[in-house]
Amino acid sequence: MFRKLMTSGVAALAILALAGGAAEAKTKVVIGELDWLGSRAIEQVLNQVMTEYLDADVSTIAASQEALYESMNKGDGSVDVVADVWSDHLPAQMKNYVIPGSAETIIFNKTPYEGTEGIFIPKYVADEYGVKSLADLAKPEIAKLFDSDGNGLGELWAGAAGWESTNQTQVRAKSYGFDKTMELTTLDQAVELALLKDAYASKKPIAFYYWTPEWIFAAYELVKLEEPAFTGYTTEGAKGTERYNANGCYTFYQPGERNDWLEASDIKCSQPPTRVYVAHSKELAGRDPKIAQFLTQVKLSTDDVSKWILAMEVDGKPVEQVAKEWIDANKPKIENEWLAGVR
63: CATH: 3.40.190.10
Confidence band for 24, pLDDT divided at 50, 70 and 90: low
pLDDT band at 128 (very low <50, low <70, confident <90, very high): very high
The Cα–Cα gap between 7 and 12 comes to 9
Side chain identity, residue 108: F
Looking at the structure, tell me whether residues 139 and 262 fall in a common domain.
yes
Shared domain check, 220 and 280: no
- Report yes or no: 29 and 60 within 8 Å, Cβ to Cβ: no
Q: Please report, as a single letter, which amino acid is at residue 343.
A: R
pLDDT in tens, 51-64: 999 999 999 999 99
User: Is 210 inside a domain boundary?
Assistant: yes
Q: Which pLDDT value is given to residue 2?
A: 28
Structure confidence at residue 95 as a pLDDT band (50, 70, 90): confident
Q: What is the pLDDT of residues 281-292, one digit of tens each?
A: 999 999 999 999
Distance of CA 50 to the CA centre of its chain: 21
Query: Do 123 and 49 belong together in one domain?
Result: no
| 285 and 219 assigned to the same domain | no
**136 and 104 part of one domain:** no
| Measured distance CA(118)–CA(129) in Å, rounded | 20
Percent of the chain with pLDDT over 90: 85
Q: Is residue 14 in a domain?
A: no
Do 121 and 79 belong together in one domain? no
CATH code of the domain covering residue 227: 3.40.190.100
Q: What is the pLDDT of residue 197?
A: 97
Residue 17 domain flag: no
Q: Is the pLDDT of residue 18 over 80?
A: no
**Domain annotation covers residue 1:** no
pLDDT bucket at 147, cuts 50 / 70 / 90: very high
Q: 221, 238, 267: which is the final residue of a domain? A: 267
Last residue of a domain, one of 251, 267, 283: 267
Number of domains comprising the chain: 2
What pLDDT does residue 90 have? 87
Tell me: do 93 and 122 sit in the same domain: no
Write the pLDDT tens digit of every residue in 243-299: 999 999 999 998 989 999 999 999 999 999 999 999 999 999 999 999 999 999 999
Shared domain for 155 and 246, answered yes or no, is yes
Summarize the confidence of residues 228-240 as an average pLDDT.
Answer: 91
Q: What is the pLDDT of residue 10?
A: 44
Tell me what the mean pLDDT of segment 108-123 comes to: 97
For the cut 60, the answer to whether the pLDDT of residue 21 exceeds it is: no
Domain check: are 128 and 256 in the same one? yes
Q: Are 168 and 307 within one domain?
A: no
The answer to whether residue 4 is domain-embedded is no
Check: CB of residue 295 under 8 Å from CB of residue 106.
Answer: no
Quick check: 45 and 307 in contact, CB under 8 A? Answer: no
3-state secondary structure of 135: helix
Confidence of residue 142 (pLDDT cuts 50, 70, 90): very high
User: Can you give the pLDDT at residue 20?
Assistant: 47
- Domain holding 102, by residue range, is 23-114+275-338
1 or 186, which is more confident? 186
**Cα–Cα nearest to 114, from 277, 241, 308, 229:** 277
The type of residue at 130 is G
Residue 7 falls inside a structural domain: no
Please give the torsion angle defined by the CA atoms of residues 305, 210, 70 and 26, in that order, rounded to the nearest 10 degrees. Answer: -10
In a domain, 219, yes or no: yes
Q: Is residue 106 a part of any domain in this protein? A: yes
Global pTM reads 0.84
Question: Do residues 244 and 232 make contact, with C-beta atoms less than 8 angstroms apart?
Answer: yes
**At how many degrees (to 10) do helices 319-329 and 37-54 cross?**
60
One domain for residues 174 and 239: yes
113-125: average pLDDT: 97
Quote the CA–CA distance of 184 and 187 in Å, as a whole number: 10
Lowest mean pLDDT among 8-12, 101-105, 223-227, 237-241: 8-12
The predicted pLDDT at position 343 comes to 79
User: Strand runs (DSSP E) across the chain, as ranges?
Assistant: 28-33, 57-62, 81-86, 106-108, 113-122, 154-157, 182-185, 207-212, 222-224, 250-251, 266-267, 274-281
| More confident call, 22 vs 78 | 78
d(CA 233, CA 248): 6
pLDDT at 97: 96
Same domain, 134 and 244: yes
Distance of CA 40 to the CA centre of its chain: 11
Identify whether 213 is preceded by a cis peptide bond (ω within 30 of 0). Answer: yes
Residue, of 84 and 23, whose pLDDT is higher: 84
